Each structure stands twice: as structure tokens, then as C-alpha cells.
Amino acid sequence: MKFTVEKEPFLREVQIAQEIIASRSNMSILSNVLLQADEGMLTVRATDLKVSFQTQIPVVVTERGITTVFCDKLLSILRSLPEGEVEFEQGSQSAGENFVIRPKFKEIDFRLRSIPADKFPELQIRLESGYFEFPQHEFVEMVTQTAFAVSDDETRFFMNGVYLESDENGLVMVATDGRRLSLITQEMPAGITEFDGVIIPPKVLNLVKRLATGEGTLRMAVADKHVFFEFENHFISSALIDGQFPNYRRVIPETQHYQIPINKEEFAEALKRVSLLVEKSRRIYLDLSPGQIVIRSEESEVGVARETISVDYDGPVLTIALNYIYLMDPLRVINTEMISMHFTEAGKAITIYSEPRDRFYHIVMPMQIQ
């Protein structure tokens, strides 16, 4: 195998491959990236056995071939090379054959040990049918508004992913860790193939989000306990999380008696300052009274912080304790100037909406007041 390619486009794809590859794997081949040169294209493939990635980039192929090399070292070499064309050459497919890397206009020579491609896992990365199309920017928005709320508690694996289902209103994407919930809806894409609700690992969703340009469409399919994505020159698949997602509809308040419109940036900056004195509990307090919110933290071994924000509120005097991270995360992904907080009483759920209201919202459960 022998091919020549510009450094930068190849480097970008190898960086993606390295993100996918398991950092600790008992199978050494899973630390490798597969490279196949054929008819003017280079195929790059990587997997951790759950998430798989394949892409193609144009190259000048002098000799067809296929091999696998240690991805981390390949990435380090590419980053170190000067800009411009790089030549890659692989000899016979015997085990341990060197994969030679040479910049075109520099006297540099790297020789990486390789593993034959026939030892690379055979995984289904693409489906022939069953896809429906999504506008890229809408899918990216769905992931942005939900994926951060996924639970990292591995004992509750059924909440370690983002739930996607269809209902009478279209597609619904939800994530929860049991103390907060983020939900967004989307009109049903044309040509959708109906499927039961599925739990998608955030790793693959964040990968799609990162690679998507936001222009055009992506194609998605669900089959055989896997989810598949195709867009531009990328093909990505992932095993679904096998479990029963909680009945999230039970925690969505039917009605809430009070609401407070708040300037998002002012609220976020106040939270940042007050949280400087918060310890492991992450607990801050919102003291609500007509016309204002006092945001405060009280840590006996650190100190006290307080900041007052004027708001349009004429409800009862209340104190609500909250994990400040659960407030900051939604504020980072809402892109309107104003938000509104809806609630009924101190111990019940708070719902955060954008203003004007969009197709998503975020629910936060209060903490116990000490």
C-alpha cells in the first residue's frame, strides 16, 4: 500500500478515530486505526466495539492496500509534521511490517509497527435501508439541549444515555439523572421509519454533534439494537443501551403557579460569583420575595456569598435550595436573552424555559434545605 495525502485533512480524521478508541482495551487491535487505500480514496475506520466510525478522504493512491496502525502514535506523528503532503507506505501484510511515514519535502522518516487488517473487528457500520433524514442543525440542537443531563451513575445504566422516542407530537429526546431532566421535541421527519423508544449513548451523539457542520441533512436509522448515522463523508454506528428508561412523563409538572422572567446573562454571572464559595454539596439558595431574588451560598468552613437580582415577581416569599450546576448547565445551552423559571412551592420541581418559549425545557428538583 502506498498513498500521498495532505497532512491536515488526514490529521482531522485520525483525531476523531483516537477519540473513539477505547483508552484501556484488552484487545491491542482496538488501539489501532484501520487504513485502506483504494481508487483515489482513503478509508479510515476505528471502533471501541460499541461505537464505530468510518470516513473517506481523497488521496493519491500509488498502490492499493489495507493495514492497521497504533492510532495514538500515528496521531502524535502527524501533529509533529510540517504542513504539506505526506507519503505513507506499507509493505507486505505480514505481522509487524513497518508502516512508513515520510513528509514530501522534509528528510523525516517514521516507521510504525502494524497489525494485519484481517485481525480488525468486522462490525456493521452502515445499513442499506431504513434511514430517515434530519436537518443537521435541528439534530445538533436536540443533542445540545439534552446530553449534558445524562446520569454518570453506572449502577443506573438505563439513565446513562439519551432517550429518543416518537409520539403524537413528533420525536422526543430526553435525558435525566434522577434529579434533573432535559427534554426537547422535534417535528416528525419525513419518511421516518417507526421504532420503539431507544437509549442512545451520549458518546455517539456528542461525536455526531461535533462532526456535523449544521448545514444540510444527516441520515439516521435504528435497527438490531444499534443506531446508525450518515452525513457528508462520515458513517457512525453505536450499540444502544439495553434497559428500561424511566417514565419521565411522571415528573413533568402539569401546572405551575408562579413564574419569574430573568435576564439569562445576569443570572448566570451571579451564579458564577456566588458558587465560588460552594463546596462539594454544590448547594446554593434562591431567596424569592416580591421584586427580587437573592442568590446565596453558606459554607460554615468557607464563608457566605450573596447577590441580589431585581425581577418581576409578586409571589410568596420562598427559599429554594438547588444544585447550582443544575442551573448553570441549562443556561449555557439556552441562547435567548431571557429565561423564565416556573414553580409552585419550595420542595417541588422548577422548570426553566427560554423566552420566547422554544421546543425544549429543563426541570430541576430542589435540594433539602439545611
Tell me: the pLDDT tens digits for 311-336? Answer: 999 999 999 999 999 999 999 999 99
Residue 219 and residue 229 in contact, taking contact as beta carbons nearer than 8 Å? yes
**143 sits in which H/E element:** helix 136-144
Q: Which grid coordinates belong to 246?
A: 424511566
Residues 9 and 63 in one domain: yes
| pLDDT of res. 193 | 62
| pLDDT of res. 92 | 61
Residue 126 located in a structural domain: no
Among 199, 216, 250, the domain boundary falls at: 250
Residues 65 and 170 in one domain: no
- Return d(Cα 233, Cα 57) in angstroms, integer: 8
Kindly report the CATH number assigned to the domain that includes residue 28: 3.10.150.10
Residue 345 located in a structural domain: yes
CA distances from 68 to 37, 91, 120, 301 (A): 12, 12, 8, 55
* Adjacent-strand bridge partners of 41: 38, 58
Q: Which segments within 12-129 are labelled E, that is strand?
A: 32-38, 41-47, 51-58, 60-63, 65-70, 85-90, 98-103, 110-115
Residues 64 and 102 in one domain: yes
Residue 370 located in a structural domain: no
Residues 305 and 346 in one domain: yes
Residues 157 and 177 in one domain: yes
Kindly report, residue by residue over 192-233, the tens digit of the pLDDT: 766 789 999 999 999 999 999 889 999 998 888 999 999 989
For the whole model, what pTM was predicted?
0.90
Residues 260 and 359 in one domain: yes
Residue 369 located in a structural domain: no
Among 65, 94, 119, the domain boundary falls at: 119
Q: Is the pLDDT of residue 26 over 60?
A: yes
* Adjacent-strand bridge partners of 164: 173, 198
Residues 139 and 92 in one domain: no
Residue 125 located in a structural domain: no
Domain span including residue 54: 2-119
Q: Which of 64-78, 128-142, 184-198, 218-232 has the lowest mean pLDDT?
A: 184-198
* Adjacent-strand bridge partners of 56: 43
Residues 73 and 142 in one domain: no
Residue 215 located in a structural domain: yes
Per the structure, the count of domains in the chain is 3
Residue 167 located in a structural domain: yes
Residues 266 and 246 in one domain: no
**347 Rama class: left (phi>0) / alpha (psi -120 to 50) / beta:** alpha
Q: What angle do CA 125, 126, 128 make, to 5 degrees?
A: 160
Residues 244 and 257 in one domain: no
